[in-house]
Structure 1
Amino acid sequence: MQFIIETFNHYGYIVLLVALMLELIAVPLPGEALMTYCGYVIYTGKMNWVISVIAAAIGTIIGITISFFIGKSLGIGFFEKYGHYIHMNKQRLDKISNWFQKYGNKLLIVAYFIPGVRHITGYFSGITNVSYKKFAINAYLGAILWTTTFITLGKVLGPNWERYHLLLKKYLLIGSLIIAVMIMLIYIYKSHKQIVYEFVLKMLNNSLTIFHSFGKVKALIGTVVAVFLVFSTLVMGIIQDFLAQEFREFDELTRYIIVHVFDEDWGTAMRVFSNSANMYFLLFIILLTAIFIMIKGKNKLLELRFLTISFLGAVALSSMLRNIFHRIGPTGTEYTFPSAENIMAVVTYGFLTYLVIRYNRKLWINSLIISLYLVMCLLPGLSIIYFNIQYPSDVAAGYEFGFVWLSLSIIMLEVYRVLPKLR
């Protein structure tokens, strides 16, 4: 790494372009560390951010395109024979090939953030005969996102780039893996929707047969959900001490980045952002959701009931969790883990978002609604960390628990929607 940095200091953009090109051909070079260091050099004023991102993206795009056409021209037989020279033996090749045929093209955007995966995605795109158009759209967009992320973070971290690089890389890897899993689950659901639907109906039907009562089935489902929540809370309480050190690292890094990205001029905007999780504003969103249900809903009474359950349940859940974990926030006056504001924002905006998407068939509108939802969830968390009201880990936990409760509420709504058909 030291040799690469010294060479980079002399030739800058050329080294950045060539190094990333070679890494995407599967030459073992520390591309992410180099981009983070490049960000630091930009911080010192010796390089330009725009030119650096362009050079890095071009190098990455050239590298992965070369690997794509190599894979396309040589085919799988060549890699079975010679793949061990680039750390791809036959056993690993077979596993990756099976995985890539199912999910690879859909994960090209986030694959760059996963060590070992980004080095072979180009080859397997070619080997599995992915069309160049589909490959280019996803791979090139991912290249721009990957290079921009690490160079920008290096610029933000400045002199602390080396101190925080490995920690930052770890959290980006975790986030990328979560996104990858979500993409695979969505793909599996869309590809096997009928099988999933029939399985759920069969399970519910068996429950009806066992309990001989529609009402008892509802009670059973409610009990299972309650038990799940209680035990999830207890487990989280037990592992809290174990995660304490991890929290400190995460809090330190996240707080450092936000403080350096958003200066004092953002104060007014952040106060506006914080209002998106204000209880009065959230009640207004609940009212809008109720109006939407009355206009568009197909099971109006059921949807209104679960709207109430999801909202009041989120209030109760956030209060219960904070009292269980007993974690005092930065102000030293109240429990803040997990963030109640973020739990409420995720659930309140999420329930409305789900209903809008459920009754709308236009893809561009749904994409816009989802993007708006994610922004509305992000804003209160950002403002909370900016004003140092809660720790970043409080905010992250709020998102996590909020999504768990929201998903359970939606699942229960859809289960109860199906149950009358089985009577």
Structure 2
Amino acid sequence: MFDKIVEIVSALGYVGVFLLMLLENIFPPIPSELIMPLAGFVAARGDLNFIAVILVGTAGSVVGALPWYYAGAKLGQKRMKHFAERWGHWLTLSPEDVDKASDWFDRHGKGAVFFGRLIPAVRTLISVPAGIAGMSMTKFLVYSTLGSLIWTALLALAGYLLESQYQKVSEYLNPVSTAIVVLMVLYYLYRLIRQRFASKKQ
């Protein structure tokens, strides 16, 4: 599985990295922790430019954050929670997730957007309270870009450094990557079923 994923990332190139990181922000079950290290790994093999991988990964991450920002700005917290309650199961998004992101934003202010982009459990949804609070687009883009740049660079660097140990990495990560993909699918199905059941019960 590891070799196949590397081949796919290599074949898709920069457009693929951009689109995958964009989707990672819109559709939380897709993890950047898998995308960017593999992109860095491919760059280390010479198929892609390392700096370009970081830049397009960052761009995809920031562009992917915009729909959540606009959703928060247009809907507000109450209607956003209603949206999450009715449709959020498809995105594994719950009203509680909206509240948690809002609490994080309230505690840390505008800097929450920067720091939130560095925390896996928060990075996707931190855009929602930024939109709800009316944070200016300029500040939102600056903080989001800086936070996303650091996150994607660290992940890509991890993959880049692993390339020198390709045989060992491939040997160990083939079963691990397969397990990760399976667990991602199972976790998504679990949250989908749980949230749909909860919404019907209510």
Q: Same fold (TM over 0.5)?
A: yes
Q: Deviations over 1:340-388 (max 9, x none)?
A: xxxxxxxxxxxxxxxxxxxxxxxxxxxxxxxxxxxxxxxxxxxxxxxxx
Letter in 2 for 1:14: V
Offset of residue 44 of structure 1: 1.3
Matched, 1:14 2:15: yes
Amino acid at match of 1:79: M
Corresponding letter in the other structure for 2:131: G
CA displacement at 1:149 relative to structure 2: 1.4
- Tell me the equivalent position of 1:26: 27
In structure 2, do the counterparts of structure 1 residues 147 and 91 end up closer, same or farther at CA, with 3 Å as the change threshold?
Answer: closer
Q: Distance in 1 between matches of 2:151 and 2:119?
A: 11
Find the counterpart in structure 2 of residue 337 from structure 1.
Answer: none
How does 1:10-409 map onto structure 2 within 5 Å? 10-83=11-84, 84-85=88-89, 86-158=91-163, 159=166
Rounded Cα–Cα distance in structure 1 between residues aligned with 2:104 and 2:53: 33
1 CA distance for matches of 2:131 and 2:101? 13
Shift of 1:112: 2.6
Letter in 2 for 1:65: L
Select the structure with the greater relative contact order (CA < 8 A; seq sep ≥ 6): 2
The alpha-carbon distance between structure 1 residues 117 and 104, as it changes in their structure 2 partners (threshold 3 A), is: farther
Judging changes above 3 Å, is the alpha-carbon distance between structure 1 residues 65 and 7 closer, same or farther for their aligned structure 2 residues?
A: same
CA distance in 1, matches of 2:5, 2:83: 28
Q: SS where residue 151 of structure 2 aligns?
A: helix
The whole-number CA distance in structure 2 between the counterparts of 1:138 and 1:27 is 20
Alignment length (residue pairs): 165
CA contact (8 A) 2:98 2:125 kept: no
Letter in 2 for 1:95: K
What displacement does 1:96 show?
3.0
**For residues 58 and 91 of structure 1, do their structure 2 counterparts lie closer, same or farther at Cα, with a shift above 3 Å needed?**
closer
Aligned CA-pair RMSD? 2.5
Could you list the per-position Cα deviations for residues 23-81 of structure 1 after superposition, in whole angstroms to 9, with x for gaps in the alignment?
11234212221111111111111111122112111111111123212221222233211
- Over residues 274-320 of structure 1, what are the superposed CA-to-partner deviations in whole Å (9 max), with x where a residue is unaligned? xxxxxxxxxxxxxxxxxxxxxxxxxxxxxxxxxxxxxxxxxxxxxxx
Sequence identity percentage: 25
In the alignment, structure 1 segments of 5+ residues that lack a partner are 167-423
Aligned AA for 2:155?
F
Contact 1:40/1:161, CA 8 A, preserved across alignment: no
Could you tell me whether the CA contact under 8 Å between 1:72 and 1:129 is conserved in 2? yes
Judged with a 3 Å threshold, the aligned counterparts in structure 2 of structure 1 residues 5 and 128 are, in CA distance, closer, same or farther, namely farther
The 2-side partners of 1:73 and 1:161 are apart by: 45
Gaps of at least 5 residues in structure 2 are 177-202
Say if 1:125 and 1:135, in contact at 8 Å, map to a contact too.
yes
Aligned residue in 2 for 1:306: none
Kindly report structure 1 stretches of 4+ aligned residues shifted beyond 4 Å. Answer: 1-6, 160-164
The separation in 1 between residues aligned to 2:5 and 2:82, in whole angstroms, is 32
Distance change (3 Å), C-alpha of 1:55 and 1:96? closer
Whole-Å separation in 1 of the counterparts to 2:58 and 2:135: 21
The 1-side partners of 2:169 and 2:110 are apart by 32
